[in-house]
Each structure stands twice: as structure tokens, then as C-alpha cells.
Amino acid sequence: MEHLNMTTVEGSQFNLDALYQICPSCFTEVADNQGGVKRVVDFNKLRSLLGDNAEESAPESYDFNWVGKRAAQRDAAASINKTLRPCPEESIDWDTTQNLYIEGDNLEVLKLLQNSYMGKVKMIYIDPPYNTGKDFIYPDRYDMSDKEYVQEANLLDEKGNKLIKNLESSGRFHSRWCSMIYMRLLVARSLLSPDGIIFISIGEQEIDNLKKIVTEVFGTSNYIETYIWESTFRPDNSSKIMRRNGEYVLCIAKDKSNITKLIGEIKPKEGLPSLTKSSMKESVLSFPAGVVKTFLGDGIYKAGVRDSYTLLDDAIVEKGKIINSFRLKGHMIWGQENLEREIANGTEIIIKGDNFVPYSNKPGDSVMSPTKLIPNSVVGDVLSANAEMSKLFSEKVFSYPKPVSLIKYLIRYIDDKDFIVMDFFSGSSTTAQAVFELNSEDNGNRKFIMVQYPEDLDEMLSLAEDKERVVVNNAISLCDSINRNHCICEVAKERISRAGKKVKEAHSDVHNLDTGFRVFKCDSSNMKDVYFSPTEYSQTLLTGLEDNIKKDRTDLDLLFDCMLRWGVELTLPVSSIKEANCTIHNVNDGDLVACFDGKITDVVIDKIADMNPLRVVFRDSNFDEASQKMNLFELFKQKCNWTEQDVINNVKVI
């Protein structure tokens, strides 16, 4: 049996797989280092397929570069040997919730989620550091250990703190920020669904660089808009030149051609919009018989010029309808195909008078697309965000949280109530509260994935200045009051918990409202590091390597690690039973069945086969001899009606 790969797939492999779907003829096979073969690109064939559109050494071209960009590309594509460890004791409604809260560096977490959530996230909202010279920055190199990186970059201060401020005096002030956001967006794009969109809050400092980066990652044609949010209604008046009262929310799609509409506002209709517009080209629309309503009296209306329209056919009116088919020529805002689609969807076409100007009356309320300005009549400012937090905490425990109303407004852009919202700079977890509130208001089934780097509050306190020290001290006091570690994630989880309770109290009539979350923490691999030089081996060491799994790891750790590697979603239900001294774990009624203890016997295989599994995984220590694994092949072939290749594909060991 093959071992399940316990590292993430390299980003280049995802690109190769996507390219293979488009042009398989440019691939060939070569020998790999393990004696097998691997699929690679034949660049000569690829060049011939691209024709004159391939250029390797253009003397002049438009490109956006910065110091460290190539390293960021390599780091984004590199595989990692880490895992997500489940924490049921820190979760709420572990068995039933569909929401996730993940602690860890978001680049590593995004890579770990790729197998299970690729193409499944419909909306991403992030509020990354604005690079004001006061923000904490994430490490921007991942091809070396943390220790090596800190030593090389000389990032430790006199107190030994690793998280530093990206000061404007730094020679790589903008480059460091660009690398940080670039590689995360490269990976995050793969998680978006084909009709998915990403919103990014940003300030004045990096808006120009961010727009260049997102259009490179997602493609210029997929850019939607840079919205302006009035972040404060009372801007600072200390400057004699300007008063800054807005921030930006940049929006871009995975594939804009899949976005049929975005909803900015829904309101009752006022009047009937005309189908004419003088700036449009002149065209002809054909109207079917018995469809067009009119206020005209019964009779025949002769073809001819009618103000801005030309009636090309006689029109016969009976009892408020034009009973024959007819054509109108004019400056139409609709084409024939759109007219027919609107009529099929219930839109009424109305002609009021003998000038034959056609009007439309769509069913339901009027749906308006978003405006560039995010309206302050709907979305609050930073003061309202602080007021929202004061309803949950007696003291201010977060700096600059976004208002819940802003995230709710952006989520409503999507004409759907059942999808995944991700925030991988989740901070105070405003996005989680927004999902709770919106679901309670419209009976939605939106789910969230929050990801946050576990910043140490004591380290933050040592670097904080002035008012920030007060906020960090408040957060530390909160952690002490609830017996939690001094970590920003603990404060955020408490915020989600309190917000969930508050929403349930206010909407007790809404059934099946999910206000829970499963907690996971990014950690080192469950597997032991077994790389030693020959001189380091001893009998004691060899005995310790009989089991390749770390001693502190549980069955649950191993199970969710296998789910990650095999592309199984982390919110699926898990049940366990005991059979012949073996614990059998069953994920979502057979999506994945695992056994990590005891000795595998025919009785255990029978029980697993009864579960109709799609995938099965065992631990190496379940078997004393290789012959037992061979026997396993035959048992699964018989009991699950699998071919030998099915067994190879569906049964793995760790």
C-alpha cells in the first residue's frame, strides 16, 4: 500500500494540472528520482502552440517588480510539512458547526486548505496591515527556518521579540509589504470558486501597489472596482491641506465572466424605466404577439415615425394588449436576446401612448448594482465599530475593528445565502459576527473560515505605544478573566462566542442557526523527523523509530491530517466505533474511514466494508508483517468489489 503524502502539494503542480487541462499535447514524460516517471512540459511544443504570442526576452515590457518578488513567488509555490491540529475543547458546537477558526500563519494555512477547499470559497474578505509604519508584519521568507530568517535579517530587538514594525525608514518598506500580500493572494486565488470574488480593505499607503498586485494575480479583465468607504464622519482637522475620511475596498473576481450581478441595494420600484437612450446605437426590436401591454384604446395603429421611435409594422390593440407581433426601430438599451430573456423571466413591456416608447416593469423590487461610494446610510464608520464592540466587552480590546455593517454590506453583494466566506487576516473576527447576523436576518446558511496569526499579546505590549498599550492591556486582562493564554486569537474567539450568543438571544425564532466554530491550530507535522547521518544512529534510536508518529499526537490529530491530505472538508461530521479492539473513525458516512490502533483483522475489514467507504487509511503500526498488507488487498477487492487499482487508489497508510 502507498503511503499518504503528508506534505502540501507544490503550487507549481497545481499550475501544471491546470495547463494539462488546456493543452495536454505540450506535455511529455521523463524519469524521476524514484525510478518512476513524471509529467513535464515540453517548452518547444508549448511555444509552437502559442505561436507569435510567446516572448521570452522582450526588450521592453510593462511589469510591476520589487525587491524580493521572485523569492515571494518561490515561497508561494513551495510545499510545507505542517498540519492543522483539531481543538474540540476550545470549540463551540464541535459536532454540528460548519464554521472554522484556524490559528496560524495564514500563508501556511492557505496551503494546507488547498486540497479540501480548492474552488469552494465564494467570497474572501481581508483587512491586511495598511503598512503605516506601525503595523506588525508577517515574516516574508519561508524557504528557511524561522531561526535562520530572524538571524539573517537581524529582526530581533533588545528583548528578543520576533514580530517587528515595518518602519518607513526600512530600505524595503514597500517591498516587504508587497511580498507579504503577493504570495498570500497567489495561494488564496486557488480557493475561490469560479464565480468567487475577493474584497480587500486598504488605506492610502499601499492602494496603488495593491491594485497592481491583484490585477497581476487575478488578471486585469477580472478587476471590478475600488470602492470608497467613508471610514469616519468626523475627519481630523489638524492638516491645513486636506482631511482624510475614507478608506478603500478593492474588489476583483476569480473570473468576471461568471459574475452575472452584484447587489448593492434593493428597494421598491419607482416609475417605469424606458428602453430608450439617445447615446445607444439605433437598432430594431421585435415584440411577440399578445405580450406588450398598453394604455392605448382599441384599434389599429399604422406603421410610421413616432417621435424617437419608428413603428415598422401596424399594431393592433385589443383590451390593453397589442395582439400582433410588431417591430420598433430606435436607440434601444436592450438587444433582442436580452428582451426575450426578460420577457421569459416575467418582465412586463408597456407602451403608454401613441409615441410607442416602450417601458419595462420587472417583477419584484428594484435591484441596484453597487455604487463606487459605499453609502454611510447603510454602513457605519470606525466609531460605530467601536460601539458594536462595547456591546460585547466592557473595555476596548481591539484597535481599529471594521464595523459589522461593512462586512454585511459586502456579503450581500452575492445573490446567494449558502456559501463559504473566508477571512485570512481575521483579527477581531468582525467577519464571523457579520455572517451570524446576516444568517439570522434572512435565514441564510453562510459559513465562515477565519484565519489569524496567534500574536502574543505580551510581545505586542512591549512594542505598543501610547493608546495602543491601553488596548493591549485590556486584551490581556480579558484573557486572564477567562483563563486563556495571552494571545490575540483567544480574544477573537471570545468575541465570536459572545456575538453568537447575542444573535441567538435576539433571534430565538430562527431555527438551526449555526453560531459555533471548530478550532484548529497550525503545527509541525504529526510525523517524526527521521533524517539522521549514519554516525547518529544507535539501537536506542532505531527502536524509537519503529513508530513514525510523534507521541503527543492523538487519533483526532491523525484523522484530520488525513482529511487535509485527501481533500475532505474539515467541518464534516465524525463518528467513531470500537470493533475487535480497534477504533474505527467514520467521516461523513464513508467519505473517509480510518483506523490508527489495534491489529487489522478480517472482522475489522468487514466492519469497514459495511460503511461503503470512499477512502480508507491505516497506521503502519496496525500491521506486524508485510504479508498482512498484501492480504488486505484481497480482502478489500472481495468485500468492496474493488479492482486492484481501486485498492491502490483508495487505501493508504501513514
Which of the four pLDDT bands, split at 50, 70 and 90, describes residue 543?
low
Q: Residue 198 has what pLDDT?
A: 98
DSSP characters over 553-588: --HHHHHHHHHHHTT--TTS-EEEEEETTEEEEEET
Q: Residue 68 has what pLDDT?
A: 86
DSSP characters over 387-437: HHHHTT-SS--SSSPPPHHHHHHHHTTSS-SS-EEEETT-TTTHHHHHHHH
Q: Residue 278 has what pLDDT?
A: 86
Cα distances from 632 to residues 201, 562, 595, 635, 645, in angstroms, run 53, 19, 13, 5, 13
Q: Residue 158 has what pLDDT?
A: 47
Cell reading at 324: 400582433
For residues 654 and 617, the answer to whether their CB atoms sit within 8 Å is: yes
pLDDT tops 70 at residue 155: no
pLDDT tens profile 383-408 = 899 999 999 999 999 988 999 999 99
User: What mean pLDDT is predicted for residues 421-433?
Assistant: 97
Cell reading at 405: 455593517
Which of the four pLDDT bands, split at 50, 70 and 90, describes residue 53?
confident
Q: Residue 92 has what pLDDT?
A: 97
Cell reading at 596: 490508527
Which of the four pLDDT bands, split at 50, 70 and 90, describes residue 59?
low
pLDDT tops 90 at residue 440: yes
For residues 349 and 360, the answer to whether their CB atoms sit within 8 Å is: yes
Q: Average per-residue pLDDT in the chain? A: 87
Provide CB contacts within 8 A for 59, sequence distance 6+: none
Provide CB contacts within 8 A for 20, sequence distance 6+: 27, 39
- Which residues make beta-bridge pairs with 595? 584, 618
Q: Residue 29 has what pLDDT?
A: 82
pLDDT tens profile 268-287 = 666 788 888 888 999 999 99
Q: Give whichever of 88-92, 144-148, 346-350, 396-400 has the largest mean pLDDT.
A: 88-92
Question: Count of alpha carbons within 13 Å of 273, Cβ hemisphere only?
Answer: 11
Number of CB atoms found within 10 A of residue 320's CB: 13
Which of the four pLDDT bands, split at 50, 70 and 90, describes residue 537?
low
Q: Residue 125 has what pLDDT?
A: 98
Q: Residue 99 has what pLDDT?
A: 98
For residues 29 and 37, the answer to whether their CB atoms sit within 8 Å is: yes
Question: Count of alpha carbons within 13 Å of 534, Cβ hemisphere only?
Answer: 0
173-191 helix and 69-77 helix, angle to the nearest 10 degrees: 30
**Kind of pairing between the strands at 616-618 and 592-595:** parallel
pLDDT tops 60 at residue 164: no
Strand order in the sheet with 309-311: 282-287, 326-331, 309-311, 304-306
Q: Which helix (H) or strand (E) holds 227?
A: strand 223-229
Q: Residue 133 has what pLDDT?
A: 67
User: What mean pLDDT is predicted for residues 81-93?
Assistant: 96
pLDDT tops 90 at residue 39: no
| Residue among 449, 421, 563, 435 nearest 109 (CA) | 449
Counting residues of the chain whose pLDDT is more than 70, the rounded percentage is 90
Please state the separation of Cα 43 from the chain's center in Å: 33
Provide CB contacts within 8 A for 107, sequence distance 6+: 75, 76, 138, 142, 183, 184, 187
Question: Count of alpha carbons within 13 Å of 280, Cβ hemisphere only?
Answer: 16
Task: Please give the domain boundaries of the chain with CATH numbers for all domains.
Answer: 1-54 (no CATH), 86-264+370-522 (3.40.50.150), 269-364 (no CATH), 545-653 (no CATH)
Q: Which helix (H) or strand (E) holds 318?
A: strand 315-318
Which of the four pLDDT bands, split at 50, 70 and 90, describes residue 47?
confident
Instruction: Specify the pTM.
Output: 0.82
